[in-house]
Structure 1
Amino acid sequence: MLYPWLKIPYQEIISCLKFNTSCTVLLQSNSGCGIKKLYCAIIKQIFCKCKKDTIHYNFCLNCQLLSENRHPDLYDFSKYAILNKQIGIDIIREICEKIFYPPYYGDVKIILIQNLELLTNQAMHALLKTIEEPSKKTYFILGCKKINYILPTILSRSKIWNIFIKTSDSLQWLNDQGYTELKKTKIILNLCYGAPIFAKKMLSSNFWEIRKKMILILKKIFLKQASFFHLFESCQKIEIFFIFINSFIIDTIRYKSNIFLNIINIDCIKIVEYMSKICSICFLYQQWDFWLNFKKLNSEISGINKEIFLIKTILAWNNLIQDIK
């Protein structure tokens, strides 16, 4: 079942594919919008032999093979990305050679690359060559989060859909899921950068209760009645600590820049006001850059020493508080 915000793009893409025997579709989306369901729905609609308009029924052999993740005419690069974190030219060449052989079932083949950014530069050029001269009835279903990382020549040969979710649609969906407390839902959605699926996971956890404790401790810190280490003790998870701190860093930068509409912690404006007085813009950007570096290394390096980042952050904030008269 598709999420509400994916239904219109799905209909548009299927209508487009009806009039193209070979086609390259590129979906640009952020994390947490359920894009995998859209890939599955598009692929199923292309392969399904028992379809009527844009509705499919689960009866044909193609549908059965897809449900068992063993359709021989679907070339999914996801497993290579998981194993290697990057997709090299050899993998692209190996798969692209296979698509010129006749399909096992029917007359259609599909190449699925959900994270196009993971292709090396050589691999991307090899893919481009295949896209430029595709075999008949071959569909390329591509996806990316950062479209500026993709070769302009691939973009020019693709039909691009930007999957954008309106805040009102996200809030309505979360309300339908049973999260009816609007202010709380807005804050969590903002913390998740507008991703409703991530917001639902956070709302169903004990994050809100942890956040309440952290806000109380943050107030004590500014009164010099506690240290930033006590803030970490209240959550016990480095990732939660950084999410919490950096939401206030972003809010303070926005507040100092007179951008009030996009404040994340709308229930803590007084804390944001106080932070804007004691924190220089230089200090805030240093901490924000530190967080981005941590986030990048944490995703790229397994077993990274997170404690070093934690200690450096705590020391920086404690030194700032101690210097306040």
Structure 2
Amino acid sequence: MIIGHNTIRELFLKAIKENTLSHAYLIVGEDGIGKSILVKEIALKILGKTRDIDYVDLINFRSSGKSIGVDEIRKLIVEINKKPFEGDKKVIIIHNCETMTEAAQNAFLKTIEEPPIGVYIFLLCENLASILDTVKSRTSIFRLNRLSKEEIEEYIHQNYIDISDEKEKMLISFSDGIPGTIDKLVKDEEFNNIRDLVLDILLNIKNIEKSKTFDYTDKMCKFKDKWEEVLTVFSSYIRDIMVYGETYSTENIINLDKISDIKDLKGKYTYSKLIKILDIITYVRENLERNVNMEGIFDIMLIKLQEV
């Protein structure tokens, strides 16, 4: 069962019932927000199917490379122009359409504007920045918003019934309203390793010899593709230390499963030192966003943390 996006789902169901669907739609939303799941539900309704399986008249197009080129689009157009096999309708779902080259988008314009009768095209993308205005003007655009806290809770209860209360609270906080992030956090052991590493750094960085400080750099660089998560985890711990220091309550703690360590950290860092650490995290984030050497920036970060 899909959770969230109720307004958009109702609009589509109404259009299907009244036979007022547009020929092409552009569905915009962040990675993990539920674009593919939502459009799959809509596609099954259009085709009059009830079972969630593959159908010959439901075409999911994904590029085999980093971008969708004009040759791939021309092959897809040939497929679009073939008559449906099982009925009088066909649904085309193009994933990551923001990776379409300009030439590919231009080659697809006529098909988007005038597809064969009974063909419905759904273009899924994370943002509209790389989508040509000529494509936008030929589609009906829908944006998927992040789920509410209540919807995220429902998603967790539906998919992960054995999650503890402490872990559920942590997942809700880190998900930021994106259900796909919940799946990654639950199934990705690296996230737990990142949390343990960051906690280890905060607990011990001021007590180790400077010659061993950069061992932490090597460990953080193992997560080079997830440096944003590393910094987010740092910020979450600092935020928790501040909250507990002000309230002495665990009610609003994100990392509730680490509360004993958070209490220890509260004794190690004053409020002013925590503010300085947040400034260091901001400095690191800004430099990594500019593609500054990661190893060097992490070295600087650790030195600054020792000096706090």
Tell me the TM-score normalized by structure 2.
0.72
| Alignment partners' CA distance in 2, 1:272 and 1:40 | 51
Relative to structure 1, the CA distance from residue 293 to residue 218 in structure 2 (aligned partners, 3 Å threshold; closer, same or farther) is same
SS of alignment partner, residue 204 of structure 2: helix
Per the alignment, residue 157 of structure 1 pairs with 138
The aligned counterpart of 2:161 is 178
Shift of 1:131: 1.6
Task: Quote the RMSD (CA, aligned, Å).
Answer: 3.9
Identity %: 24
Structure 2 counterpart of 1:317: 301
Shift of 1:317: 1.6
Query: For the Cα contact (< 8 Å) 1:179–1:185, is it kept in 2?
Result: no
Q: Does 1:199 align with 2:182?
A: yes
Select 2:121's aligned residue among 122, 133, 140. Answer: 140
Cα deviation 1:120-147 (Å, max 9, x = unaligned): 0111122222222222222111111112
2:74 is aligned with 1:87: no
8 Å Cα contact 1:174/1:200 also seen in 2: no
Q: What is the match of residue 77 of structure 2?
A: 96
CA distance in 2, matches of 1:153, 1:17: 26
What code does the residue aligned with 1:167 have? K
Query: What one-letter code is carried by the residue in structure 1 that aligns with 2:153?
Result: L
Q: 1:208 to 1:243 in 2, by over 3 A?
A: same
1:287 pairs, out of 278, 281, 284, with 284
Is 1:229 the equivalent of 2:210? no
User: Which secondary structure does the structure 2 equivalent of 1:25 belong to?
Assistant: strand
Counterparts of residues 1-325 of structure 1 (less than 5 Å): 2-6=1-5, 8-18=7-17, 19-20=19-20, 22-48=22-48, 56-58=49-51, 67-68=53-54, 71=56, 73-78=57-62, 81=63, 83-164=64-145, 165-176=147-158, 177-178=160-161, 181-182=164-165, 184-203=167-186, 207-208=191-192, 211-212=195-196, 214-223=198-207, 227=213, 229-230=215-216, 233=219, 237-239=223-225, 243-248=229-234, 273=271, 274-277=273-276, 280=279, 284-292=281-289, 309=294, 311-321=295-305, 324=307
Give the deviation of 1:116 after TM superposition.
1.1
Inter-CA distance 286–141: structure 2 relative to 1 (3 Å threshold): same
Alpha-carbon deviations, 1:62-99, whole Å to 9, x = none? x8xxx345x1x444321xx1x22211112212322443
**Cα distance in structure 2, aligned partners of 1:103 and 1:57:** 18
- Closer, same or farther: CA 292–174 of 1 in aligned 2, 3 Å: farther
- Distance in 2 of aligned mates of 1:37 and 1:173: 13
3-state SS in 2 of match to 1:44: helix
Structure 1: unaligned runs, 5 residues or longer: 49-55, 254-261, 295-307
- 1:268-303 CA-to-partner distances (Å, cap 9, x unmatched) read 6956952422565xx645521444467xxxxxxxxx
When normalised by structure 1's length, the TM-score is 0.69
CA gap of 1:265–1:227, structure 2 versus 1, over 3 A, is farther
User: Aligned partners of 2:270 and 2:83: how far apart in 1?
Assistant: 62
Matched residue SS, 1:30: coil
Contact (CA 8 Å) 2:5, 2:144: kept in 1 or not? yes
For residues 188-210 of structure 1, give each alpha carbon's deviation from its aligned partner in whole angstroms, at most 9, with x where no partner exists: 33434432333244245654476
Greater CA deviation, 265-274 or 39-48? Answer: 265-274
Q: Aligned partners of 2:115, 2:45: CA distance in 1, in Å?
A: 20
Counterpart for residue 304 of structure 1:
none
